[in-house]
Each structure stands twice: as C-alpha cells, then as structure tokens.
Amino acid sequence: MKIALAQLDYHIGNFDGNLTKMRSAIEEAKSQHADIICFGELATCGYPPRDFLEFDDFIHLAEHSIQKLAEAARGIAVVVGSPSRNPVIEGKDLYNSAYFLADGKILHVQHKALLPTYDIFDEYRYFEPANEFQIVEYKGKRIALSICEDLWNLGNENPLYTICPLDEMLPQKPELILNISASPFAHDHAEDRIRVLKANAERYRIPLFYVNHVGAQTEIIFDGGSMVVAPNGKIVDELPYFEECIRYYDLDEVGRGEKEKLQPKDKMKLIHNALVCGLKDYFGKLGFKKAILGLSGGIDSAVVAVLAAEALGEDNVRVLLLPSQFSSDHSVLDARQLAENLGVQYDVIPIEKVYNTYMEVLEPHFWAHPFNLTEENIQARIRGNLLMAFSNKFGHILLNTTNKSEMAVGYGTLYGDLCGGLSVIGDVYKTEVYELARYLNRHREIIPENIITKPPSAELRPNQKDSDSLPEYDELDPILFHYIEKHQSPQDLIEMGFDEKLVRRVLRLVNINEFKRYQTAPVLRVTSKAFGMGRRMPIVGKYLA
Amino acid sequence: MKIALAQLDYHIGNFDGNLTKMRSAIEEAKSQHADIICFGELATCGYPPRDFLEFDDFIHLAEHSIQKLAEAARGIAVVVGSPSRNPVIEGKDLYNSAYFLADGKILHVQHKALLPTYDIFDEYRYFEPANEFQIVEYKGKRIALSICEDLWNLGNENPLYTICPLDEMLPQKPELILNISASPFAHDHAEDRIRVLKANAERYRIPLFYVNHVGAQTEIIFDGGSMVVAPNGKIVDELPYFEECIRYYDLDEVGRGEKEKLQPKDKMKLIHNALVCGLKDYFGKLGFKKAILGLSGGIDSAVVAVLAAEALGEDNVRVLLLPSQFSSDHSVLDARQLAENLGVQYDVIPIEKVYNTYMEVLEPHFWAHPFNLTEENIQARIRGNLLMAFSNKFGHILLNTTNKSEMAVGYGTLYGDLCGGLSVIGDVYKTEVYELARYLNRHREIIPENIITKPPSAELRPNQKDSDSLPEYDELDPILFHYIEKHQSPQDLIEMGFDEKLVRRVLRLVNINEFKRYQTAPVLRVTSKAFGMGRRMPIVGKYLA
C-alpha cells in the first residue's frame, strides 16, 4: 500500500482555493499510483477558522467541499479534515472530523476526541468531543484515523485529557495510524512532536503517518515537518519545514523502520524561516504585495526590514527614515546604509517641523509643564501618522517593529511605534533580536555592524538610552521568559536568584501594560507563548500590578 | 433557615479587596442572623480571571482566601466560588468550584460540570468538568450547590451539554438549590435568565437561590439581578441591577412562593445603566479618575461625553473640540453648547496648522496624487495625537467614541478616531445611539437637538456625509444585526428581503475590517455579541471577503 502525505498551505475560508489545491494533489497522487492521500485537519476550510464555524453557511460550504473531494476520490482514497454536524441536539453542534473518502463517496468519518483549548486553541468553543471510535477498513488494511491532539495525551508528564482515543480503538486491532494535524510552529515544538509521536509508536507498535499544515494564518505559523514513524519508533521521514510538499511511502517499508531520517533544528534558522513564512502568507492571503516601515537606525527595524525584503522582495519594501532633533547622526547614516545594502526605496523625512507645530499648538495648554513622556510620544505618533499616510496613499501594509521585551514591559507608544498591521518580531526577545541580526548577516554584512553593537535607544530625548528606564536586556529577558513562558511566580524567580526589587518591578510592568498589548497588531508566533490570542489577560486585573 | 444573597462587585486578582468585602458582608449577615450567605462564582479572584489561572501563585492566593473565609465562617455558613486543584494527573489541573464553608472549615466542595466555552467564555481552557455530584447537608437541609452554567442546560432549544448536573443530584433528594453565578449583562439577557431559572424550578420543584456578580471587568458588565425562585416557578425576588446589595430570605417563605416580584426591563435604561457601570468600574479598577474625549459636534461623541460625566462626574471629564477647515460652524457651536450644558472643561484647538504642516512635509512625495482617504485619515490621526498628548500630560484616559455600526464596516481611522482606552458605545448600533441620546435628554436637553437631528458626517472633506460611503443607518443596522448577532448567511438575508448587492457589500466590509477591530480598545458589551473577546475572527480569512 502506497500512502501520500500532502503537506499544504490552506487559506481560511477560501474553500475554492483549498479545494483546487487538494484536487490537483489528488491528481498527482493518482499519477504516482498512491492508494491513499492524506490532507490536514480542517483542510477544507483552513485552520483555525475560529468563529466562522458559527455560521451555518460556512459549514455548508465545507460540506460542499467534502462532496467535491469525494467525487475526486476514485481510484484513490482521500483522508481530509473538515467540520461535520452533530445530529444529536444535546452538546455542541459540530464535530472536528476526519473524512475517509473512497469510491466517490464518504466511506467513514471519525471525529476528534481531544479538543485543544489552551494557548491559541479554542476547539471546545465549537466542537463536541467524539465518544465513538471506529477504525476503517480499506484494501484489506485496518486503519485508525486520528486528528492532531488525539495523539497528544501520551508522552506528557501532565496529560490534559482523561482518555487516549487510540486506546479506544485497540480492540479493533488497527494496523496503521493516519493522523491529520494542524500543529503550529514554535521554535522548540518540532522536538515535542517527535517525542509525542515516538511515544505513540512505542505504545501501539504500528506505522504512524502524521501530516501537518504548512504556511501562516495571520499570527499562527504552521511549519509542516510532517512525519512517518515506524512501529519500532524510528522517524522514517520528516517532511521539510515551511514548504508545501507531497511525499509517498510504501507501508511495508515503513513497517520495517530500517533507518531514521530527521532534519537539523537550528533555533535561529527556524525562527528566521518562520518569520519569512509568516510575512509572506500575511501579505499573500490578504492580497497585498508591498510593505512599509520606519527605519530608526536601531536593530529592531533593521531586522524587520531585512526579513521583509526576503519575504516580499526588495522592490516591494519601502522604508522611511524619520529623524527628529533628538536623532543622532549615526542613526540616519546607519539606516541609510542598511537601506542601500538591501536595495529598498527609502526617503528621509525629518519630523522636526511637524513636531514644532504640535508644540506651538499645545503651548497654551502645556506651557506650565516640563518636557516628559508626552512629548516623546508625540514624536512616535507623528512617525506613525506619516508611515500610515504612505501606507494609505500607496497601498503598503505598515510593519510593526516592536520586539517581545518592549511589548512585555510596555516600552513603546500606542498609536506611535506600536502602529502596524503585523508585528513581525513581537515574539522575539531583544537579546534574540541580536542573534537574529547576526544570522541575517551570516553571508554578508547587510545590517551595518554599528546597528548591532551600539547601545539601544529610542532617541526621543537628548542622549536617551533604553537602559535609562529599563534594566539591561540580558537581565530583563530571562525574567520575562520565566514569567511569560514558564508562569513562574515572583517567589520562584527570587529563588532562582533574580533580584527581588527587579522581579517585582518587571512583573508589574508586564501586568499594567496589558491595555497596550490589547491594541497591538497580531504577533507572528515563534515561541510557546506569544502575546495575542494565545495569552488572554484581564486589563483591569490587579494581580502583581 | 435564613439565606443571604450577597450580590457584590469583585475585582479580578484583587484578593485582599475581595476578601475584605466578603468578610464585611459575612459580619453583616451574622448580625442579621442569617444561616447561610452566598457569594458569586470565582468570587475570591474575580471573574473572568483568564490566564491568571495558569499561574500556580494565583491559585495559591485563591486558596489562601478560602482559608480566611473558612475562618470567618463561624456561626454562619459561607458559599463562595473559587478555583480548586484537580488532584488527578489526567485532565485539566483546576476545577471551578463552589465551596461550602462552615464551623471554621471546608465542609464541602462541588465542582462545576458545564463549562461555558463560547462568546466571551473560555472555561474549558482552564477547568476540568466535574464528574461527581454530591449534595451537602447543613442544619438538617439537603442542599444542592451549583455554579452558573450548571443550570443552563434546561430551557434551551439547543442545549450545549449532554447532562444536567442537578439531574445527577436528584437521587440524593436535595431540598434547595444554591447557584453561584457570574452571568454577564446583555440588554436582553435578564429575560433568558428568568426563563432558565423557571425551567429549573419547573423540573426540580424546590426553592432556588441564584446570586450573580455586579460591576464591570473591563468590557464585561455584570448586572446583578440575582433571583430567588419558588418551587412553583414564581420569581419571589429579583435583586437590583448594577448595584451591590445583600438581601435575606426565609426558606419556608420562599417555599410558599406567594407572589412574584420582577423589575421592569426597559432596554435603553438598561443599556444606559450598563454603560455608566462599565465606565465607572473601568476607571475605578484601574485607579484612574479622569477621562478625556474629542467632541466633534456629532452624536457619538456627544453621547459618550454625557455618559462619562454621569459615571465620573463632570469635573473629571475634559473635552477637546478639534475642528479642521472641513468642520462646519454648527459642529463647533453644537459641541460647545453640549460642553456648556454638561459643565465640563473644554478647549477648542483647530488642527489646520498641524494638518498644513503634514501636507507641506508630504508634498514632495504626494504631489502627484489627489486628496483622498489618506488626507482624511491624517486629520483623524492628528486629533488622536492631540487627545493622547492631553491624556499623557494630565493623566486622563481617552474614551473611544466609535459606535457598533462604524466598527462593523470599518468606517473609522485606525490610530485616529479609533484611539482610546475604552470603547464606550462600540456595542451600540448607530440607530440605537440616537435612542440613547433621546434617553439622555429625557429630563432636559443636554445634547443639543441639532446634534440629534442633523445628518451624520465625519467632516473630513468638504460637505461629506456618512451616506456618501455607507448605506443609511436604518438600512445598514438590521443587516449588521442579523449577520453579527444572528449569524445569518447572505442567502438568509436576501430571503428576508434585503437587497442582494447591499448585503454582499456590507458583509464584505465587515469581514475585511477585522484587522481594524483587532487593534481597537475593549468594547463595553451590552448585546449578546459584541466585538472583542466574544467574537474571534481570522484576519486573513477569505470568507465573504
């Protein structure tokens, strides 16, 4: 038996686009004499469809896609994910289902039992968990269908669910497992995936075929990395990261599990490729081509500019240098050098004149009050306004260049430097932004060395340094990591050796700045805990605030 | 037996504040010789605590509160909601629990079984559903404890769950039901609540005591309206809306159910009181006193100004009139009249000079391109920048004045008029904003009649009217309502008699403007489907777009 895994980039709600893509994959797989082709979880409608699932019309369109795919499933079986209706009145109205299509019809449907409802996942919001488990027989093979999380209750110290769906199927003696997934990227997630799949192989001792999505849906990036696991636990193959790909496997060969084949997992390379993928798909799926951003001469905007040029092509990236009277000469020089290294269009528009006009207009109201954060924010907001003006006039999407450390502690101006349609590095800590810059410069110096080595500054008042108001990033970032990603308490952090005063100050900054993050662009997610949909905090909360 | 219902305003994460409040209620109830006092769901930590629940330290603080409340529970029993830990490794780590505290200790804990995970609710994100149901005996009475949603699988055409927790307790012959809730306001929700509670009384034929939260947590407003239901289905009492309140009931008297007592439910009064409550608590819980907003001379900002003055006091509201060369004379006059009627501080700051400076600076780049949306947005963003400058300089929170119709179709400038820390009327359709204005004027003309009667305009270009780019609001709003609140499809709407071209245009506008709403302030929720946490849509989605 020959099994094809189709690791594709779907588009949420784009039923025609997804259907066309799957049909042509079916044709290709037929020409390769595959017996079964597997697509991803909820592939008809894309993942995550979120509240579109609450529209009956949307479900109807998904059903229509299944019908069309069933018609294409002649001479080949098709495994594909799609929402299905729960005929029972009690419980949620939908299931998250794996369809087995063959001979022009629906041969079998298995629903998902373990519904991830944490971080960015909201599946129990929509779906009833499966309570029946039935294998399907095809061409003499007993096949267990499962969907993503259904395999994930094994291999964890603290399992989230009380059952393992595969255990429920064991009495039916399945001979192989097909798992269709939508498992998003985090830079350390591929290793979790391998651990979990190996735990399943160890338990069930049958071949396991796991197919993932690839491509980004707003902030969520799917890295692919689909896998084939032998009964002996060997990873027979791992599909490429961030690439669409169809591969074919002989079931008997997989059963023998003769050798293991895994890809290298370099953290910076993975983050880099994820961000490029996230940018590309955000623009592609929204039907935009061109990006704009402000180049300050600092490292964050430099890194975003390079990523954007890679993702969209340098001809589609435009940058503005928006110096004020507080900008240093080297900032403009560095930014200009970077723009030239990249070959992107750039303009220098000093903001002093606009700033002075604001000051003039505000003078009758502000004269008694000294220069403070207000005037700093005005500068950032003038830049936001100018960038958005270009964006509106010429059809660019403005890229936000804030990093995760700044977002965490609220070091940024709402409606100013926090503007932008997409936050490119909002899930990358400042210390990692430097690593990323080095990675981007691995072949040649695109980002001028001076941008990487000078001390970070917002340049909103004379001689300002980030370290005037924040701890050094190499002190700050580990605290943020342990609090945000690891949910450590102040006590835990103090016991780990961090300074108590600093810990309390940092955690307070994180918690009182929830209101800013609420209004910030979606953040490309590259860690296990990014700001945005996956981290839901009360704004008026009083905890550690 | 005398039962006290304490309908209180808790504050998320403010364990000390919540504890102090509950302790003084316990003292009061003791002085009234109550046998049992009931607080709300998750009252120790406030509702909804969201991802604070993922912090072990947060749970520890809740446990500490329970311990302190148990110590206070001497001579009286205390029923209170709090998270508790699941000792079993499999499944989620927490339960959403009702504690029965008496004689200085925890007498019983009943977990919640039905975990709302829809709209603004995310309970399955954190909690394992209860699978054991045990009544508690106290002073010779067999009491069924239940938590909010646990009662809500009755009285609906399409129940969301497959069990009713009270059914599971029936063999233990409970004599009364105590339900602790956190059930948020929507203008038509009190009626649902009555229907559901009556359905429970009808089924179980025992007295039912239902206590709700009151007060707002960012966008979610709890209206109180706690209820006592007799076995015969009569609502013996309904506690006031939007007010903290402790009331006492004799169990036998409730058992007789002699008369029904319900409050009037006037839609505009409810919405008005909800918004005032939402404003008051947003400021109070964040520790702010003063609001600022821009008065355009239009109806939206007028209504928000009046609501803010009611909620915060006119001395705490400051308004800016920010006319441009496109503003009509009457706008400034009307806005000025309103500010004087209200008695709030106002300043007139023409934006023309700043606008002209932007134009001058942009001229080298924009000269070949005609005036369009770009220049309109620049004006809106200058206003945003000036308002935020005052907010930063003087410590005001900027109020957003966008209505639900505009938010739906994206008729607003990101970082311009969409600025603000809280969206006050973002869940009120434009046609309802007029009703609300009439309601605010019910005693005297606060909002000048001209503001209510003139055609709506953004005044961002000469002689602009909203109707230049949008359908009339009385055509638009019903389409929005049926799509957003009722999830109707284009087909449904066309069958209802709406013009097909208009329907497709409006639905497309709603769906392509998700990116704007993603970056907008939290919206005070007054309908069953508000923008924000309760409506989660993909940005790159292609459905109806």
Let me know whether A296 and A379 are in one domain. yes
Query: Shortest CA distance to A198 belongs to which of A142, A251, A249, A238?
Result: A238
On whether both B62 and B98 belong to a single domain, the answer is yes
A contacts of B218 (beta carbons < 8 Å)? 538-540
The pLDDT score that the predictor gives to residue B463 is 87
User: By CA distance, what is A395's nearest residue in B?
Assistant: B374
Q: State how far the Cα of B311 lies from the Cα of B305, in Å rounded to an integer.
A: 10
Question: Mean pLDDT, to the nearest integer, of B34-45?
Answer: 98
Q: Do A358 and B286 touch (CB under 8 A)?
A: no
Please count the helices (runs of H) and the strands (runs of E) in chain B.
Answer: 18, 19
Domain-located, residue A95: yes
Pair A246, A108 in one domain: yes
Q: Å from A444 to nearest chain B CA?
A: 32
Q: At what angle do helices A329-342 and A299-312 cross, to 10 degrees?
A: 10
Residue B231, Cβ neighbours under 10 Å: how many? Answer: 18
Nearest chain B residue (CA) to A519:
B519
The confidence score (pLDDT) of residue A277 equals 98
Percent of chain B surpassing pLDDT 90? 96
Which amino acid is present at B166?
Answer: L
Claim to verify: residue B391 and residue B358 sit in the same structural domain: yes
Is the domain of A424 the same as that of A323?
A: yes
CB-CB neighbors (< 8 A) of B51 in chain A: 535-537
Euclidean distance between CA atoms B233 and B251, whole angstroms: 15
Number of structural domains (chain B) is 2
Q: Tell whether the model's pLDDT for residue B398 goes beyond 90.
A: yes
Q: What contacts A218, CB < 8 A, 6 or more positions away?
A: A282, A522, B538, B539, B540
On whether residue A532 sits in a domain, the answer given is: no
What is the interface size between A and B, counted as CB pairs within 8 Å? 265
Contact status, residue B149 vs residue B165, Cβ threshold 8 Å: no
CB-based contacts of A98: which residues, under 8 Å, 6+ apart?
Answer: A41, A79, A80, A81, A109, A110, A111, A112, A145, A146, A147, A178, A180
CB atoms A161 and B373 under 8 Å: no
- Measured between beta carbons, which residues in chain B are less than 8 angstroms from residue A518? 521-522
Residue B148 among the catalytic residues: yes
Task: Please indicate, yes or no, if residue A543 is contained in any of the structural domains.
Answer: no
Q: What is the CATH number of the domain that holds A158?
A: 3.60.110.10
A96 and A152 share one domain: yes
Complex ipTM over 0.95: yes
Mean pLDDT of chain B: 97
The encoded tokens of residue B190 equal 């009190």
Query: Within a domain: residue B224?
Result: yes
Rounded CA separation B372/B297 (Å): 23
Decide if B209 contacts B38 (C-beta within 8 A): yes
pLDDT, residue B164, reads 97
The share of chain A scoring above pLDDT 90, in percent, equals: 96
Which residue type, as a one-letter code, is found at position B25?
A
Residues A252 and A316 in one domain: no
Question: Smallest Cα–Cα separation from B277: which of B232, B322, B308?
Answer: B308
CA A238 from centroid of its chain's CA atoms: 20
A395 burial type by CB count under 10 A (0-12 exposed, 13-18 middle, 19+ buried)? exposed
Q: Are B342 and A342 in contact (CB under 8 A)?
A: no
- Evaluate whether residue B343 is within a structural domain: yes
B140: burial class by Cβ within 10 Å (0-12, 13-18, 19+)? exposed
Report how far residue A222's alpha carbon sits from residue A21's, in angstroms, rounded to the nearest whole number.
17
Point out the domain boundary residue: B255, B283, B298.
B255
Domain assignment of residue B533, yes or no: no
Q: What is the arithmetic mean of pLDDT over A397-422?
A: 98
Q: Which residues contact B545 (CB under 8 A, 6 or more apart)?
A: A13, B508, B511, B512
Q: Assess contact for B211 and B47: CB atoms under 8 A.
A: no
Whether residues A182 and A295 share a domain: the answer is no
Does B526 reside within a domain? Answer: no
Question: What is the tens place of the pLDDT at every residue in B141-182?
Answer: 999 999 999 999 998 899 999 999 999 999 999 999 999 999
Do the Cβ atoms of B386 and A361 come within 8 Å?
yes
The pLDDT of residue A127 is 98
Q: What is the CATH number of the domain that holds A400?
A: 3.40.50.620
Q: Strands A291-294 and A317-321: what pairing? A: parallel
Question: Are A386 and B11 inside 8 Å of each other by CB?
Answer: no
| Phi, psi angle pair for B180, to nearest 5° | -105, 130
Do residues A244 and A303 both lie within one domain? no
pLDDT at position A329, please?
A: 87
Nearest to B51 among A360, A414, A536 (CB): A536
Four-residue CA torsion sign, A199, A201, A202, A204: positive
Cα distance from A531 to chain B (closest Cα, Å)? 12
Confidence of residue B329 (pLDDT cuts 50, 70, 90): confident
Tell me phi and psi for residue B541, to 5 degrees.
-60, 150
Place of tokens 């907003």: B293
Which residue of A153, A519, A523, A529 is the best one to mutate when testing the B interface, meaning the one whose CB has the most B CBs within 10 A? A519
- How do residues B74-108 score in pLDDT, each as one tens digit? 999 999 999 999 999 999 999 999 999 999 999 99
pLDDT of residue A345: 98
Closest residue in B to A164 (Cα) is B90
Residues B243 and B220: beta-carbon distance below 8 Å: no
Is there a contact between B161 and A90 if contact means CB atoms under 8 Å apart? yes
pLDDT digits (tens, 9 = 90+) for A244-294: 999 999 999 999 999 999 999 999 999 999 999 999 999 999 999 999 999
Q: Which residues of A touch B349 (CB under 8 A)?
A: 361-362, 365
> Does residue B213 register a pLDDT over 90?
yes
Output the pLDDT for position B469.
86
For residue A532, what is the nearest residue in chain B, using CA coordinates? Answer: B518
Using a CB-CB distance cutoff of 8 angstroms, which residues of chain A are in contact with residue B50?
Answer: 536-538, 541
Cis ω on the peptide bond leading into residue B48 (within 30° of 0)? yes
Average pLDDT over residues B264-280: 97
Measured CA to CA, the distance from residue B134 to residue B136 in angstroms comes to 7
DSSP string, A405-469: HHHHHT-S-TTTTT-SSEESSTTS-HHHHHHHHHHHTSSS--S-HHHHHSPP---SSTT--HHHH
Categorize the per-residue pLDDT at B380 as very low, low, confident or very high, splitting at 50, 70 and 90.
very high
Reduced to 3 states (helix: H, G, I; strand: E, B; else coil), residue B478 is: helix
Q: Could you read off the pLDDT of A450-483 as tens digits, one per residue?
A: 999 999 998 899 888 888 889 999 999 999 999 9
8 A C-beta contact, residue B222 and residue B212: yes
pTM exceeds cut of 0.95: yes
Q: Phi/psi of residue B8, each to 5°?
A: -120, 165
Q: Are residues A250 and A295 in the same domain?
A: no
Q: Annotated active-site positions of A, please?
A: 41, 112, 148
pLDDT at A102: 98
Q: How far apart are CA A3 and CA A9, in angstroms?
A: 19
How many angstroms separate the CA of residue B521 from the nearest CA in chain A?
A: 6
Q: What is the residue range of B105's domain? A: 2-255
Residues A232, A335, single domain; the answer is: no
Q: CA of A167: how far to CAs of A34, A41, A531, in Å?
A: 28, 21, 36
Would you state the pLDDT for residue A468? 87
Claim to verify: residue A33 and residue A150 sit in the same structural domain: yes
Closest partner residue to B415 (CB to CB) among A160, A162, A419 is A419
Instruction: Pick the residue of B115, B160, B282, B415 with the most A CBs within 10 A to test the interface with A by mutation.
Output: B415
Cα angle, residue A515 at apex, residues B531 and A494 outer, rounded to 5°: 135
The beta-carbon neighbor of A519 closest among B13, B365, B519 is B519
State whether B354 and A349 contact (CB < 8 Å): no
How many CB atoms neighbour CB A250 within 10 A?
A: 11
Distance from CA of B253 to the nearest CA of A (A): 36
What would the mean pLDDT of A111-140 be, rounded to a whole number? 98
Give the pLDDT of residue B235. Answer: 97
Answer whether residue A530 is part of any domain. Answer: no
Find the closest chain A residue to B320 by CA distance: A365
